[in-house]
Chain A
Amino acid sequence: MNIPFILTLILLIPLLGSVLILFIPGSNEKGIKNLAVIASLFPLLFSILVWIGYDRATGGYQFVENYSWIPSLNIQYHLGIDGLSIPMVFLSALLSTLGLWYSAKVIKHRVKEFFVLFLLLEASLTGVFVALDMVLFYFFWEIELVPMFLMIGIWGQKKDRPQYSAIKFFLYTLVGSVAMLLAFIAVYLNTGSWDITQIPGLLSFSPSLAALTFWAIFIGFAIKVPLFPFHTWLPDAHTAAPTAGSVMLAGVLLKLGGYGMIRILIPYFPDVFRASAIFIAALGVISMIYGALVSMAQWDLKRLIAYSSVSHMGYFMLGVAAAVYYGDLTSRTIALNGAVLQMFNHGIITGGLFFLVGVIYERTHTRDLTAFGGLSKHTPKYYAIMMVTAFASLGLPGLAGFISELLIFRGAFATMPVMAIIGVIAIVLTAAYILWKIVQYVFLGDFSQEKWDKIFDVRHWSWGEDIAPFEVITMVPLLIGMVWIGVYPLAILTTINQASYAILSSAF
């Protein structure tokens, strides 16, 4: 099925939805919520269609739309997707739909603004993954800051310092992106083009200028990933954001940086990347271990998961570094496949974990691990769903997380064994914080009715104490994804592999 301008439609429909919502009176909350969810179903459907319609035999960029936008600067409206962007676009569309569906039940205050901003966020995030022109890429990259900033600030809980976190989030990202902008301009001045697909063949920097430009862009992406030591905005932003905001933050926003590294940095600066690969891998490994250790020390469930993101994105970084380092192409491609799959898996798994934190937080208004205990008996359905998600995060064979970690380590052992060996420690630590902190403190032990009554918010009685059907519906697609990828990873890997191989074989 070939729909013309399908990528534009993926961007335009949420945007249109958000504009339409502006014209619905704020009192008609039901109408706003329905419209928002419906508007997000189209990109989801279309992202599945492009996935199916993508011709893997041909490869390369497909569904390309390329029109001149600002001719005197050679800026183009250039969209297209390949095996790398397809899973990301799908992830963004899926999590948006789930987030909107979940928020439709949960958001009670300033409803209209929330859904306007959420759809704007969806459009801008997806835009980054489909843009093939650096200016367009930068447009979407920056626009996305605005709705996220407002979401954290407006719907954050007072005690989590939402205003501080929102401004911190904006400032950190902007530091990176302005550096990136200068580097993009330098690339343009050198090549006369903003076209991401053309620049690798045109770029002729002196080595020192190449290194300077590489690091300027790298820092922009690393802040977003976030890589140690640029990660400090993340726990604050995550903790303060509303549940669906955290889901989008962890699930999609963090992927922008990773996506940018693979889409822009590897093809543009393969040699600089290779020369710095060990250093970058070391930062990745530090993120893995440091993130896991800090997670272990948390007593706030949401902060714990936020730090676990630092750790999990560290795996991604190790995978990318291994993919650009010296070694056989097969191992390097495997590492890159693992890194991309890790981004996707982290999106569905950590996205799921944030939904699950939301489930308990809505009921108890606390995320303090010591306040819970024995919930396995009291809320068995919640327990079951949390177990699957947590084990997927931990890397249990048969679930999604295992596959991507396996691929990353398989690749890394072949190209940079020392880093891989050190990195393995993180797997143990991950198991420790998941089993000890989440499973033991929340679900095991004795259930105390008295303690539970004190924290349970009776206003949510209609939802029941255990996970409610709408929350289960939110989780089901994610759970299916975790099991499906865990059991039959080829479904997604063939698509990713197509792009990974193309990127690595043409870069070096």
Chain B
Amino acid sequence: MNNLLLLLPELIILIVAFAVFILDLVWGQERSNSSVFPALTMLGALGAVIATVFIWAQAGSGALQLRVIATDSGGALSMLAVDQFAMFFKIYAALTVGLVGLVSTDYIRAHTSFRGEFYAMLLMAGLALMLVASSTNLVMIFLAFEFLSITSYLLTGYLRDNDFSVEAALKYFLYGSVASTVMVFGFSLIYGATGSVDLRDIATALASADGTVAGYLVMPAIVLIIVGVGFKIALVPFHQWSPEAYQGAPTPITAFLSVGPKAAGFALMVRILTIAFPGFAHTAAANWVAILMGIAILTMTFGNVVAIWQTDIKRLFAYSSIAHAGYMLIGVVAIAPQYVGGSQTIEGWSQGLNGLLIYLLGYLFTNIGAFAIIIAVENKTGSSSISKYAGLIKRSPFLAVAFFIFLLSLIGIPPTAGFVGKLFVFGAAINQQMFVLAIVGIVNSVISVYYYLNIARQMFFEDVEDSTPITVSGGLNAAVAISLALVFAIAIFAQPFITWTTNSAQILASSF
């Protein structure tokens, strides 16, 4: 297959993004309300999904397809991989962009007069997500990562007349730049130690390096890289930016931040750690499994405990999303086969990576669905305070019930996608005999019930102050309905989703 054709999803997104930019420029202010922009965004996303599926079909099922895009004498300098793992995240990114585009329309119309660029920027952010997930080279990783960061900062500060939005973007930017710098420093240590920027070459070089290099350079490098990526995912203790950014950002962008960059961060983390450092999962000199285990425990616990006191729903979802990153991290921790070969291993589902992917997938639909409702309520009440949800069941039964189902999915109650995700990550942890992690995970699930049900309590048990019905636009309704359908489908018709994530996860299983 032609190399350029392998980049079809990225190209589609790029072309659509430029088309939106140009249309916006040509049409000017008076047509900025046009539905063409969101429609184009969704078409672009759909096109990217179809293109990815097409390439997947070409690549064949299960086969490990590492295609080199830019080569310098015999594939030594590969930039991007088009493997199943990357394609999973490309579809994920396209779905994120499409759904966020769907929920943005009303909000953007109501809050700003610069509308066209918003969608173009969103598409660009989606493109950045795709690049991050497929980069296999430290230089490319950094470029893609910065691309994603810059588009995220811009989108966060998109409401430029709104002080909170600007403050959020500034904070995000300041923290983000430090994190990026730290990560690059980590990269430079690796380059210094191995003389290579390609992930596979690094692994080869490190495998034959003596103990001192590993002891002095690899461990600090791994820590620095985890800091950089952990910032993007908002892992504790690199999460400080996220409550502010989530609260201040335009609400559709909050939805985007809670799923898109998080997924890209995980893709990157998994790719770097498993391809470049597979040998350092458990060794004495460097042990990224132990580091991540500690971070996972911290992240879950901190996110859930602090969420209890939140009164603003966007802030609450910021902490909730921190906590969920902690659960997902269990999947990453359980990738490394600590007890491999024992009778405990059951192929196909026990791999933590599979758990991470299916968790991410469920979380995408759950969170975007929930944010669609948050946007609907915010459009009506002008506030994101949890007290505005009082009596929602009377104002809009559909939204209240749908929101409740999304909350149940976040808790992990069957039959929802959240349950399947938890089943997989906890299953992976138990399979690796990481009982502590599984127990901390379930204790946290219980803690989270308290604040999620507090929203349900407002919606169902409290009396209404203002009983005017909340009507929502077709876009928001569609986003809620699609999310709802998938949240149930992932649990009830789980097999195709599991097959898909299993195929996507295989690529990395060979690293160990």
Contacts and interface: CB of A to CB of B under 8 A. Distances in A.
A154 interface: yes
A170 B456 CA distance: 12
B237 interface: no
B438 interface: yes
Which secondary structure dominates chain B's binding surface?
helix
A186 B445 CA distance: 18
A60 interface: no
B460 A138 contact: no
Interface size of B as a range: 35 or more
26 contacts: A70-B495, A71-B495, A72-B499, A73-B348, A73-B494, A73-B498, A135-B423, A142-B413, A146-B408, A149-B456, A166-B457, A167-B453, A170-B449, A174-B446, A175-B446, A178-B442, A179-B442, A181-B442, A182-B430, A182-B442, A185-B427, A185-B430, A189-B346, A189-B427, A189-B431, A190-B344
A156 to B, nearest CB: 9
Interface string B390-408: 0001000000000010001
Interface in A59-79: 69-73
Nearest to A155: B461
Interface string A416-438: 00000000000000000000000
Contacts of A113: 393
A508 interface: no
Nearest to A164: B457
B453 A170 contact: yes
Contacts of A192: 346
B453 A162 contact: no
B461 A154 contact: yes
Contacts of A189: 344, 346, 350, 427, 430-431
A171 B450 contact: yes
B415 interface: yes
A72 B349 contact: yes
Given A72-B495, A73-B349, A146-B408, A153 B413 contact: no
Contact of B461 (A142, A145, A163): A163
Given A113-B393, A189-B431, 4 more contacts: A69-B495, A175-B446, A182-B426, A182-B430
A174 B449 contact: yes
Interface string A1-30: 000000000000000000000000000000
Given A139-B414, A146-B408, A153-B460, A186 B430 contact: yes
Given A143-B413, A146-B413, A189-B346, A167 B457 contact: yes
Interface in B426-467: 426-427, 430-431, 438-439, 442, 445-446, 449-450, 453-454, 456-457, 460-461
A189 B430 CA distance: 8
Contacts of B460: 150, 153-154
B407 to A, nearest CB: 10
Interface string B92-111: 00000000000000000000
B242 interface: no
B504 interface: no
B502 interface: yes
Interface string B489-507: 0000011001100100000
Nearest to B413: A142
A73 B499 CA distance: 10
B423 to A, nearest CB: 7
A163 B450 CA distance: 12
7 tightest A-B contacts by CB? A178-B442, A139-B414, A153-B461, A185-B427, A70-B494, A142-B413, A163-B461
Nearest to B420: A70
A163 B442 CA distance: 24
Interface string A107-147: 00000010000000000000000000001001100110110
B461 A143 contact: no
Nearest to B405: A146
A174 B445 CA distance: 9
A143 B430 contact: no
B508 to A, nearest CB: 18
A142 B414 contact: yes
B426 A185 contact: yes
B461 A162 contact: yes
A73 B426 CA distance: 14
Nearest to A153: B461
Given A142-B414, A182-B439, A167 B423 contact: no
Nearest to B447: A171
Interface string A439-482: 00000000000000000000000000000000000000000000
B343 to A, nearest CB: 8
Interface in B472-498: 494-495, 498
Interface string B165-188: 000000000000000000000000
B423 A181 contact: yes
A174 B443 CA distance: 10
Contacts of A153: 457, 460-461
Contacts of A154: 460-461
Contacts of A179: 442
A154 B499 CA distance: 41
Contacts of A143: 413-415
Given A72-B499, A181-B426, A163 B449 contact: no
B128 to A, nearest CB: 33
Contacts of B423: 135, 181, 185
A72 B348 contact: yes
